[in-house]
Amino acid sequence: MAVPVSRTPGTSLPDTPASYDPALERIEIELLMEGIYRHYGFDFRSYAYASIRRRLWKRIEAEGFHSITALQDRVLHEPDMMEKLLLDLSINVTAMFRDPKFYVAFREQVIPLLRTYPFIRLWHAGCSTGEEVYSMAILLEEEGLYERARIYATDINDVVIQRAKSGIFPLDRMQEYTENYINAGGKQSFSEYYTAKYDGALFSPTLLRNIVFSQHNLVTDRSFAEFNVILCRNVLIYFDKALQNRVHHLFNESLSTFGILALGSKESLKFSEYEDCYEPISLHDKIYRKVK
Ligand SMILES: C[S@@+](CC[C@H](N)C(=O)[O-])C[C@H]1O[C@@H](n2cnc3c(N)ncnc32)[C@H](O)[C@@H]1O
């Protein structure tokens, strides 16, 4: 019978270094990931192991449990615990105009290409609470392209999608976002886009008019349209190589010819099976164009 790694066999005492067995810990983590997939449909089985392990232990400590097996018991029987763990595992860190230079490159090098299209479909895959989606809506509005654009914004996690739909972001981050906006080449006064209410900043509902938010899992769900632009920033970094390739297959299938793919600053197409299918528009800003 498997003994949870963080307990001394035969006792319920917390771990001692002598009882720590990394191979057994891996088995427990794999069993938990398999259980989550089979019971809830969330597939974290091919996410980068070190990151998953770190997040599981954070939750275990926060709940006062002593082992991965104890967490498994609660997660499989209590949907509320799954919801908490989903927030831990899905890592929703985001910001408006994150990496401002990316938006400068997008304005200068992608917008002129998009101007030639009668209608533009964009997909933000892994959009978290929506900050980058509102950033893109603002950019397209300022470039006079928003009327002919439709943004599809998806994430595995419905909790963050609901927050994104609300258009309310923490007021205490507006100073940072204003600086990002200016450095991203913003053309107005950033405060024109929101109204302050208590500790929240409510973004203009008119920005929502061409955005469709919905839940979509990059690991298990299929393509749902053909896009001119796919932005998937700071998501693939959490996946192992095989899963990254699978998601690149989905993106390649979902992009029109000469469609744009934008990745996060620490991500790249280098060494992916799809490297040859794209040419760089800005290598530094991780913006590529599909050529096959
Ligand atoms: C670090 S955030 C990145 C947010 C935003 N793209 C940015 O760059 O600021 C990663 C997001 O990817 C989402 N995610 C993780 N796995 C996913 C999957 N299998 N399908 C869709 N979204 C996923 C998470 O829920 C999280 O909101």
User: Distance from CA of residue 262 to its chain's centroid?
Assistant: 13
Q: What is the pLDDT of residues 54-85, one digit of tens each?
A: 999 999 999 999 999 999 999 999 999 999 99
Which percentage of the chain shows pLDDT scores above 90? 89
Position 213 scores a pLDDT of 98
The structure tokens listed for 53 are 């392990």
180 pocket-lining for ligand 1 (C-beta < 6 Å): no
What does the alpha-carbon distance between residue 130 and residue 155 come to, in Å, rounded to a whole number? 9
Q: Is 98 in the pocket of ligand 1 (CB under 6 A)?
A: yes
pLDDT tens sequence across 79-136: 999 999 999 998 899 999 999 999 999 999 999 999 999 999 999 999 999 999 999 9
Best of 37, 47, 90 to mutate for ligand 1, by most ligand atoms within 8 A of CB? 90
pLDDT score, position 88 = 93
The angle subtended at Cα 144 by Cα 142 and Cα 147, nearest 5°, is: 115
- Helix orientation angle between 22-40 and 49-63, rounded to the nearest 10 degrees: 80
Residue 14 has pLDDT above 70, yes or no: no
Q: Counting atoms of ligand 1 from 1, which one is nearest the CA of 98?
A: 9
51: Cβ below 6 Å to ligand 1?
no
**Residues 138-170: tens digit of each pLDDT:** 999 999 999 999 999 999 999 999 999 999 999
Between CA 183 and CA 30 the distance in angstroms is: 43
Torsion angle in degrees (nearest 10) through CA of 129, 133, 139, 142: -90
Q: Which atom from ligand 1 is nearest to the alpha carbon of 157?
A: 25
The set of residues, in sequence order, having a beta carbon less than 8 Å from that of 65 and lying 6+ positions away, is 71, 74
Structure tokens at 31: 């069993």
How many angstroms is it from 4 CA to the middle of ligand 1? 30
- On the question of pLDDT at 214 being above 90, the answer is yes
Question: Quick one: pLDDT at residue 18?
Answer: 59
Instruction: State if residue 161 touches ligand 1 by the CB under 6 angstroms criterion.
Output: no
CA distances from 251 to 52, 226, 263, 276 (A): 24, 9, 11, 14
| Whole-number average pLDDT of the chain | 92
Is the distance from the beta carbon of residue 267 to the nearest atom of ligand 1 less than 6 Å? Answer: no
Say if residue 261's pLDDT is above 60.
yes
pLDDT at residue 74, rounded to an integer: 98
Indicate whether 262 pLDDT > 70: yes
- The whole-number average pLDDT for the span 12-38 is 81
Query: Which candidate, 156, 107, 108, 150, places its Cα nearest to that of 128?
Result: 156
- Residues 236, 165, 206, 256, Cα dihedral to 10°: 30
Cα(155) to centroid(ligand 1), Å = 6
Q: How far is the CA of 124 from the centre of ligand 1 (A)?
A: 10
Is the pLDDT score of 272 beyond 50? Answer: yes
- Using CA atoms, how far apart are residues 8 and 2, in angstroms rounded to an integer? 12
Ligand 1 midpoint to CA 128 (Å): 5
Confidence check: pLDDT of 12 > 90 = no
Cβ–ligand 1 distance for 248 under 6 Å, the answer: no
Determine the Cα–Cα distance for residues 203 and 194; give it in Å rounded to an integer.
4
What is the C-alpha separation between 20 and 16, in angstroms, rounded? 7
Q: What is the dihedral of CA 76, 79, 85, 87, to 10 degrees?
A: 150
233 lines ligand 1 (CB under 6 A): yes
Is the CB of 160 within 6 Å of ligand 1? yes
Q: Is the pLDDT at 227 greater than 80, yes or no? A: yes
Which tops the pLDDT comparison, 273 or 12?
Answer: 273
